[in-house]
Structure formats: C-alpha cells, structure tokens
Amino acid sequence: MLTSFQKHWGVEQWMAFLRNKELPVMPHSRVNLAAIIEAEGDRLAPRELVSIVYGDPFLALKLLRRAEGRRSQVLGQETTTALASILQAGVSDLKRTVNDGPACNEALPGLLACVERATLGERIARGWACQHADISPDEVALAALLSEIGELLLWHIAPELPEQALAELRSGRALRSAQAQTQVCGFPFKLLSLALVQAWELPPLIGQLIKGSDSLRANLARQALDTARHLIAHPENPALPADIANIRELLPGVGLAKLMAHLPISEEYRQTVLDAIEQETYIKDLK
C-alpha cells in the first residue's frame, strides 16, 4: 500500500525508489524453463532459452542489467540482444535468476495486459525489422519489449497507481493513457521508463524509442507497440489499416502481405485491412 508521501511522488522520486529494487520474473517463466530443462537436460543451449526471455520483459531487463554491469567492468561491447545477455550470464546463472528471485502477481489483469502488450509488440517489431537488411531484428525487438518498463514496475510495486490511471481512462475523464496517467500521478509512465533506462544505462535505442527519436529502428519499434496496443484493445481494431499504412511508409519495398503476416488477426479481417489500405491508396492516387 502506498504511503501518503508516495502518493505525491514525481518521476525522479519513483526512479530513485525503483532503480535499486530487486526485479521480479513472471511465474510462467519458471514453468517454461522447467519444461525446457526437463526436455533437453544436459543438451540445453543458450539459444533455446531466448524465447523465455522474450516472453518476460522483467527477466529480459534483469539479464540485460547484469550483462551491462559486467560490460562496464571490463569495457566490453554493449549488450543489445537477449541472446547476448544469456551468453554473458550463462545457463546456470539464468536458472538462478529465474528460480531464486521474487515473482510477479499474475492475478493483476492490468499487469498481464501490459506484459501482453510488450511481448506482442516485440514479436511484431521483430517481424518488421526482419524485412530490412541493415537492421538487427533482435535489437529492435528488445527495445520494444522494454520500452514500457516503468509502467510494468509500477504494476509490480505500486499497482494502485496504474489501476487508478486505468479507471481515469475508462471514466472518460481522459481520452488517452498518457493523459490519464498524468491526471492521476502527475506524469506519464513513459517518463518513468525513460528515467530508469537512463539511470540503468541501458542500450540507447530503448531511450530513443521512448523519447520519440526519428530513426528507422525507433520508428519501427514504436509503430509495433502502437499496433500491439490496438490489437489488444480489439482484434479487429479500426485503427489497424492506418498502422499498416504507416509501417509501409517506413518499409516501402515490402508488400502488404508480408507486413501483416506477423499480426494475430483472422484471415477475414486481414482481407478487410488490405481492402481498406488499397482503397485509401486509390483515393490518394486520384487526387
């Protein structure tokens, strides 16, 4: 429960409070790791564990922070992918990280929705980044996965705050999530994410994504998160044609079918989106 002082904290106070807290993992990571260990035994390789990390933004952050800590001690290369963080940690350290630390409360629907948004955004970002030869899909995917870590940590440490922000949004007193968060907490949660990314000295791409930097990698990740948010709100969200049109402008040489291949939508709605985009393109050509 929040203290009377915490209810009035700003971004800097929450950042200072959260930056040294022990990070949790999602309970499903323990279940998935145990299943892989049982199936693979001594043959277990780091690459086989990547899917577990990408399915849990808390675990990804935990490993990345450890890897970056080791890098700063030896002045090594920046860690920007989940596989690199696993390779630096080692399989034994990953097992301890997953099994020995605290776990999140999966009974919180808001937390699960936030994790789902991050993991779906990661998958979409990876799929789109694969369409560009000069971009590392793993780097873009990790940035998308961790871009909302401030809100995720609030769900874990102080769920009252994001719950109040959701209530504010649903009441109609706010039209967008950032507005609801500011009205309730005094700041949008993305500012907390940015403050933590900077305090932890995480890879710059994550901060660029949160700040809205105009680079292809940041724009791909940002559009993937927007698309994930729309799909989670409704699997046939009317905003989806605009999302795909936006990503086509970033990847003009990629066909619509490839851009939509990574979206979890029905074939019927997939065709509806294609028709809507083609109709919009036809109208623009007439003008």
Task: Taking residues 33-53, report their average pLDDT.
Answer: 84
Q: What is the pLDDT of residue 287?
A: 47
Mean pLDDT of the chain: 88
Task: Taking residues 230-239, report their average pLDDT.
Answer: 94
Task: Taking residues 239-252, report their average pLDDT.
Answer: 95
pLDDT at 73 exceeding the cut of 50: no
Scan for tokens 């809205």, then name that residue: 212
Candidate from 1-10, 89-98, 108-117, 251-260 with smallest mean pLDDT: 89-98
Residue pair 124/204 in contact (Cβ under 8 Å)? The answer is no
For residues 172, 152, 52, 240, the Cα torsion angle rounded to the nearest 10 degrees is 30
Q: What is the pLDDT of residue 286?
A: 42
3-state SS track over 145-185: HHCCHHHHHHHHHCCHHHHHHHHHHHHCCCCCHHHHHHHHH
Residue pair 143/87 in contact (Cβ under 8 Å)? The answer is no
Q: What is the pLDDT of residue 69?
A: 61
pLDDT at 258 exceeding the cut of 50: yes
Tens of pLDDT, residue by residue over 171-195, are 999 999 999 999 999 999 999 999 9
Q: What is the pLDDT of residue 50?
A: 86
pLDDT at 74 exceeding the cut of 50: no
**Predicted confidence band at 282 (pLDDT cuts at 50, 70, 90)?**
very low
Residue pair 223/230 in contact (Cβ under 8 Å)? The answer is no
**Predicted confidence band at 70 (pLDDT cuts at 50, 70, 90)?**
low
Scan for tokens 């000295």, then name that residue: 201
Q: What is the pLDDT of residue 284?
A: 59
What residues have CB less than 8 Å from 259, skipping those under 6 apart? 128, 131, 244, 247, 248, 251
Q: What is the pLDDT of residue 80?
A: 60
What residues have CB less than 8 Å from 131, skipping those under 6 apart? 251, 254, 258, 259
Tens of pLDDT, residue by residue over 192-210, are 999 999 999 888 888 888 8
pLDDT at 55 exceeding the cut of 90: yes
What is d(CA 273, CA 246) in angstroms, rounded to the nearest whole number?
13
Residue pair 162/189 in contact (Cβ under 8 Å)? The answer is yes
Name the percent of the chain lying above pLDDT 70: 91
Task: Taking residues 142-150, report their average pLDDT.
Answer: 92
Q: Where are the domains of the chain?
A: 22-100, 239-287
DSSP-derived letter for residue 8 is: G
Q: What is the pLDDT of residue 281?
A: 64
What is d(CA 181, CA 35) in angstroms, rounded to the nearest whole number?
38
What is d(CA 92, CA 280) in angstroms, rounded to the nearest whole number?
53
Say which amino acid occupies 239. Answer: A
